[in-house]
Amino acid sequence: MGFVRLLPRSASRARNTAVESDLDVDLEVDVSEIEPGLDPAAEVPALEDIPVLEDSPEPFRSAPVASVPIVVPQAPVPGVTGTRVIAFANQKGGVAKTTTTLNLGVAFKEMGYRVLLVDLDPQGNLTMSQGLNPDTIEISMFDVLVRKIPISDVIERREVDLAVASIDLAGAELALAALIGRERSLEKALVEVRDRYDFILIDTPPSLGLLTINAFVAATGVIVPVQCEYLALRGLVQLENTLAMVRENLNPHVGVEGIVPTMYDSRTLHAREAVEILEENFGELVFKTRIRKTVRYAEAPVKGSSVLGYDPTGTASEAYRELAKEVLHGTEAREHA
């Protein structure tokens, strides 16, 4: 049995919301009951079924990452005119989801596109990286998802527009679990602002819970940042299993738009081999742009800035500009297919 644990403030906020909504919420919820038909852990190979790499003569090539086919969305979402809603997801922590959401967003803005970022992670790192403190924010994506306030009320104008997170968001999974239409909360909230933006980029937490599922349901595509090391590749099977369930039940059009190799250190054989495996298994889905390892990406958020704002002419900024072009071209190629 797994239980959702809440910080005290978030727990009381979730309870208050449930009481306001006249709902019966037990603050210790078995996560397996959140969505019976949508168990993210289903059909994931057991760890012992995965070959032990050290024993293999060609360790990297025995990787099990290709056992689930990645599906690319084949058609634009009906009724959606132009706006691309991209979720940045990987249940592994620290793979550069937030860094990619922010810097790609700023790169799109530099190109003249209208961009909204949505911070759907209770850690609030995206919010922080734009110089805002999630601990002191009064209303946030929690209120949008659970209390149904307009998303425009929580959008801050920074380098790009940003729908902010607060610490309360930690209670959103629990509060949402009690609501009808819990997986569609974000999709509904975005209707208000969708036409005002060309790109809506959603930063998700390092899990495949209800917040990430909300992002998948609202999204036209998913970009998966993957750290260039072998262990980072294994979670892709589970991610695609969850996406497959979302496609089956909630959003038939969502799929992986691309995989971004991050924290790439070309000097190490390990990083080069990790990228080779990605390309062998996922082919064209792997973006050509490699986001190299550099301390610039850690320095910029401390200044409340993207890397493109902090070091506009550096190679770290250029990498995300290149990635932005690739995302655009990939999209066009698919639209004309």
Ligand X SMILES: Nc1ncnc2c1ncn2[C@@H]1O[C@H](COP(=O)(O)OP(=O)(O)OP(=O)(O)O)[C@@H](O)[C@H]1O
Binding residues for ligand X (CB under 6 A): 93-99, 121, 123, 125, 206, 262-263, 291, 293-294, 297-298
Q: Can you say whether the dihedral through the CA atoms of 132, 133, 134, 137 is positive or negative?
A: negative
Rounded to the nearest whole angstrom, what is the least distance from the CB of residue 169 to Mg ion in the complex?
12
Backbone torsions φ then ψ of 224, nearest 5 degrees: -115, 105
State the DSSP code for 151.
Answer: G
Rounded to the nearest whole angstrom, what is the least distance from the CB of residue 87 to Mg ion in the complex?
12
The partner residues of 331 in beta bridges, in order of sequence, read none
Rounded to the nearest whole angstrom, what is the least distance from the CB of residue 116 to ligand X in the complex?
18
Backbone torsions φ then ψ of 162, nearest 5 degrees: -140, 120
Rounded to the nearest whole angstrom, what is the least distance from the CB of residue 284 to ligand X in the complex?
22
Which of Mg ion, ligand X, none sits in contact with 291, Cβ below 5 to 8 A by type?
Answer: ligand X
Nearer to Mg ion, 17 or 238 (CB): 238
Residue whose structure tokens are 């599906």: 71
Rounded to the nearest whole angstrom, what is the least distance from the CB of residue 16 to ligand X in the complex?
27
Closest CA to 32 of 4, 59, 66, 58: 4
Nearer to ligand X, 245 or 263 (CB): 263
Nearer to ligand X, 250 or 309 (CB): 309
Which amino acid, 62?
A: S
Number of residues that bind Mg ion (CB under 5 A): 3
Which of ligand X, Mg ion, none sits in contact with 182, Cβ below 5 to 8 A by type?
Answer: none
Backbone torsions φ then ψ of 261, nearest 5 degrees: -70, 120
Which of ligand X, Mg ion, none sits in contact with 69, Cβ below 5 to 8 A by type?
Answer: none
DSSP string covering 112-139, please?
A: T--EEEEE--TT-HHHHTTT--TTT-SS
Which of Mg ion, ligand X, none sits in contact with 99, Cβ below 5 to 8 A by type?
Answer: ligand X
Nearer to ligand X, 125 or 220 (CB): 125
DSSP string covering 42-63, please?
A: TTPPPGGGSPPGGGSSSGGGG-
Which of ligand X, Mg ion, none sits in contact with 108, Cβ below 5 to 8 A by type?
Answer: none
Nearer to ligand X, 243 or 316 (CB): 316
Centre a 10 Å sphere on the Cβ of residue 49 and count the other Cβ atoms it contains: 9
Q: Which ranges constitute the DSSP H helices of 97-171?
A: 97-110, 125-128, 141-146
319: tokens are 């990498």
Give the DSSP H/E element, type plus range, for residue 189.
Answer: helix 185-191
Rounded to the nearest whole angstrom, what is the least distance from the CB of residue 19 to ligand X in the complex?
31
Rounded to the nearest whole angstrom, what is the least distance from the CB of residue 124 to ligand X in the complex?
10
Nearer to Mg ion, 125 or 220 (CB): 125
Q: How far apart are CA 301 and CA 287, in angstroms?
A: 24
Q: Which of residues 93-132 bind Mg ion (CB under 5 A)?
A: 97-98, 125
Nearer to Mg ion, 228 or 250 (CB): 228
Q: How far apart are CA 127 and CA 309, in angstroms?
A: 16
Which of ligand X, Mg ion, none sits in contact with 144, Cβ below 5 to 8 A by type?
Answer: none
Which of Mg ion, ligand X, none sits in contact with 34, Cβ below 5 to 8 A by type?
Answer: none
| Site residues for Mg ion per CB under 5 A | 97-98, 125
